[in-house]
Structure 1
Amino acid sequence: MKYAKNILETIGNTPLVKLNVLTKDLPCLVLSKYETFNPGNSVKDRMALQMIEDAEADGRLKPGGTIIEGTSGNTGMGLALAAIVKGYKCIFVMADKQSKEKIDILKAVGAEVVVCPTNVEPEDPRSYYSVSKRLGEETPNSWYVNQYDNPSNCKAHFLSTGPEIWEQTEGKITHFVVGVGTGGTISGVGSYLKMKNPNVKVWGIDTYGSVFKKYHETGIFDENEIYPYITEGIGEDILPKNVNFDVIDGFTKVTDKDAAIYTQKLSKEEGMFLGNSAGAAIKGVLQLKEHFTKDDVVVVLFHDHGSRYVGKMFNDDWMRNRGFLEEEIKTAADLIKNHEEKPLVTAQTEELISHAIERMKAYKISQIPVKDIDGFVGSIDEADLLHHFISDKDIANKPIKDIMGKPYPIVKKTTKIDAVSKLISKENDAVLVDLENGNYHIITKYDIISAI
């Protein structure tokens, strides 16, 4: 009989799968190393097991101990599976930008999860780097994994992922492309492939808000390049020891929007239900088109499974709210369809200014059209209110008509977006859309920017 003695024996030996639709305009053969076939549904199962076994061997991880790690989710899953089989506890620290699904999955396999803010410096005591390190120091009989600097991370891919790709392509691979986070995958696989054939090109996929690309090209760690981004699992605001820049031939950066859109495209056009970093990876391959020829064999590694992003990249409302959904916006009606069901907030000429202020606060808006019995006759916005308040502290008890500005222009719902945009200026903050039958809605600068 053929069977695995436990779930850990099913790690590795994942298939290579050809891409057909998204890569049809590339001259080369593009194969994906499909890592979701690992039991924890990600490439991180490989290094998680390697790190645990190496820590057991040298005594860092003792029987009944607690495994502590900062993770974006996938390494935690790999560690948790191994911990269950081997009898360890787990505490994982995650940044709050990670999907709810990832947090729930880790809890489902018995791990304790601590969530930290994303938008803080790595040295900040609240960062998930700092919190995981502190927990490792404070928790009795614990082992802090530190996947970023742990050499077993890179070792796992040198011993397994790299040899598998070489054998599966019969040594014909010419390019390896992968998203870079901790650096273990690109450095381990890249080192093995270049050992077998120094001419293999290794490309890293980076994201905007990460330091890798510029550091590789200039040797400069530019803190100005560090800012929050949405893409999960790749990019860093630190330089992990596992990133071997000597093995990497180059980086290409992929935007949050492209990564999200191509995550959906992989699912809908290739039947590949994958995670956010896979979308970034395949878009990166397309951006590298000029580096490939008809005889090349390009292997792109897909890290994890789409089930961890159902509430994000596979949720159209989430995509739409971030301007990621590829919707054609041509008219005034298109600009307001995301909030068309909300009532238009207005004020009357004889109402007190204090009423308008309360309405702005309640609805979290910056401008209000003003009406009287004849229709729209004026407007007020927060900038005008502030200006008047500075010169007259009693302004709140005066009627709105005393300070209102010009009424907003009114357009038909079929008016083209270019014409609407031209009506918004420093002097005019908004445009009203006539939805007919006495119904109106408002288009603000924010709506125009969102459409762009």
Structure 2
Amino acid sequence: MSLRDHPKAYGTAALTVAFAAGILITLGFKDFYPDLEKRYQTQRKRLTRKPSGVQFRRSSIFFDQSALEPVELEDHEEEDEGDYRPVADGIEGCIGNTPLIKIRSLSEATGCIILAKVEFLNGAGQSPKDRVALNMIREAEEKGLLVPHRGDTIYEGTVGSTGISIAALARALGYKAHICMPDDQSKEKSDLLHHLGATVERVPVAPITSPDHFVNLARRRAKEHTESSADSSRGFFADQFESEANFRAHVKTTGPEIYAQAEGRVDAFVAGAGTGGTLSGIAKYLKEDRSLSKLRVVLADPQGSGLYNRVKHGVMYSSTEREGTRRRTQVDTIVEGIGINRITDNFEAGRELVDDAARVTDEQACRMARWLVENDGIFAGSSSAVNCVAAVATALSLPKGSRVVTILADSGTRHLSKFWKHVAEMGLEEEEHQDLLTTLGLQQYQ
């Protein structure tokens, strides 16, 4: 008599065999599982590691991706860990990956989405110049021009922000800093440089043709250091206006971050230019490297600067250069950090990519700065305010729903004694503003 003649007995035996086989398979799989788990955890970390602001699905691929579709896994063992940075190696590890935020009040007023890269949240000197300073130092080290802890000093002529970034990074990376700056800049900048351990020379304002111009003085001081050094130390002139390490810093970091955070959807990029590195570097990445051919790049220029006319009319010319009105100092604005009356190598690197320019008055900049505090809680500096005015003007020329990206380059904390003092003197802190475009004098563009 066989089991087939007794179906009930046959079913029981089959179930027993299947159960035993399941146990054996499970035991065998258990030996394989640790490697599988390791692969899962490695793949999960790789897929959830992201540039700031970019969201990825949490998933894992157990097997060859080319052979099978990805297997979606739900992680029930851990709570959501959040978007935390790993431990940074020194203050230089806190540079980059700054947030890209939507400025709600500006977006609502224009019907476009106005996004701002908050560069004053960089971790060393709190400006986009952190990226520039670090890249200039690293490239100089690669060329052997700087050697840590040899006694080398970094010299730079700056209106403040680049000097602050250099001063902070110099101490962190084993150097000294010597900063030359014009004496019409806000006092809190030179005070901060001093507290960061830099040697500070405040010099009278002079044209770039003068050997006493703050940039030319810094170049001379670096040369004097190297020639007179009793030890092996050297003086290194950073030369932020002409060094290509400036715009390359933004090609390598800021541009890719903006592209990733905005998910590749940018209709216009708006920024001011001092050295021109930020504008050129980001424009080059977005237009050339990512082929955003329809992207509009717009220069935000304060009153008195000649760059607006360079972009709009092809010549460096301002109203202060008319016969009988030419002044020794051409740029007449309370805005610091942007606006210039000469073409730098960094600006020239991306000049052909700039489509338009917007001129911003000091009054508009002050009104925008106050508007941002009242409506968005953003305490901006002068160049950030100029950028935002130009971003609004640009948005009004674009179809509704367009995405405009600009830069919040500086916090208002570095502009208390000059720019924000002027805001107060204008009585803007007591006024209530209901309509942005009327406040800025842009209602005619509605």
TM over 0.5: yes
Note the residue ranges of structure 2 that are not aligned, 5 or more in a row. Answer: 1-84, 227-233, 322-329, 432-446
Query: What does residue 257 of structure 1 align with?
Result: 363
Q: CA deviation at 1:143?
A: 0.5
Answer 1 or 2: which has greater helix percent. Answer: 2
- Distance, in Å, in 2 between the alignment partners of 1:172 and 1:47 is 25
Q: CA deviation at 1:139?
A: 1.7
8 Å Cα contact 1:17/1:33 also seen in 2: yes
What are the within-5 Å matches in structure 2 for residues 89-238 of structure 1? 89-118=176-205, 120-140=206-226, 141-195=234-288, 196=290, 197-222=292-317, 224-225=320-321, 226-238=330-342
- Distance, in Å, in 1 between the alignment partners of 2:173 and 2:333 is 36
Determine which structure has more spread, i.e. the larger CA radius of gyration: 2
State the Cα RMSD in Å: 1.9
**Which aligned segments of 4 or more residues in structure 1 are displaced greater than 3 angstroms?**
318-321, 323-328
AA at the equivalent of 1:281: N
8 Å Cα contact 1:65/1:143 also seen in 2: yes
Residue correspondences, number: 324
- Distance, in Å, in 1 between the alignment partners of 2:400 and 2:375 is 23
Q: CA deviation at 1:235?
A: 0.5
- Cα deviation digits, residues 368-416 of structure 1 (max 9, x gap): xxxxxxxxxxxxxxxxxxxxxxxxxxxxxxxxxxxxxxxxxxxxxxxxx
- Distance, in Å, in 1 between the alignment partners of 2:312 and 2:427 is 29
- Distance, in Å, in 2 between the alignment partners of 1:319 and 1:171 is 37
- Distance, in Å, in 1 between the alignment partners of 2:385 and 2:391 is 10
Q: CA deviation at 1:222?
A: 2.6
TM-score with structure 1 length normalisation?
0.68
8 Å Cα contact 2:369/2:382 also seen in 1: yes
- Cα deviation digits, residues 338-379 of structure 1 (max 9, x gap): xxxxxxxxxxxxxxxxxxxxxxxxxxxxxxxxxxxxxxxxxx
8 Å Cα contact 2:370/2:429 also seen in 1: no
8 Å Cα contact 2:208/2:216 also seen in 1: yes
Q: CA deviation at 1:295?
A: 3.2
- Quickly say closer, same or farther: Cα 1:324–1:261, change in 2 above 3 A: farther
Q: CA deviation at 1:326?
A: 7.5
- Quickly say closer, same or farther: Cα 1:134–1:187, change in 2 above 3 A: same
- Cα deviation digits, residues 129-170 of structure 1 (max 9, x gap): 221222122122101111010000000000000000000011
Look up the SS of the partner of 1:228 in the other structure.
coil
> Which residue, 91, 94, 109 being the options, matches 1:7?
91
What are the within-5 Å matches in structure 2 for residues 15-414 of structure 1? 15-39=99-123, 40-62=125-147, 63-118=150-205, 120-140=206-226, 141-195=234-288, 196=290, 197-222=292-317, 224-225=320-321, 226-243=330-347, 244-315=350-421, 318-319=422-423, 321=425, 323=426, 325=428
Identical aligned residues as a percent: 36
- Quickly say closer, same or farther: Cα 1:114–1:215, change in 2 above 3 A: same
Look up the SS of the partner of 1:59 in the other structure.
coil
- Quickly say closer, same or farther: Cα 1:275–1:320, change in 2 above 3 A: closer
AA at the equivalent of 1:151: E
Q: CA deviation at 1:85?
A: 1.4
Q: CA deviation at 1:325?
A: 4.1
AA at the equivalent of 1:18: K
AA at the equivalent of 2:178: I
8 Å Cα contact 1:264/1:313 also seen in 2: no
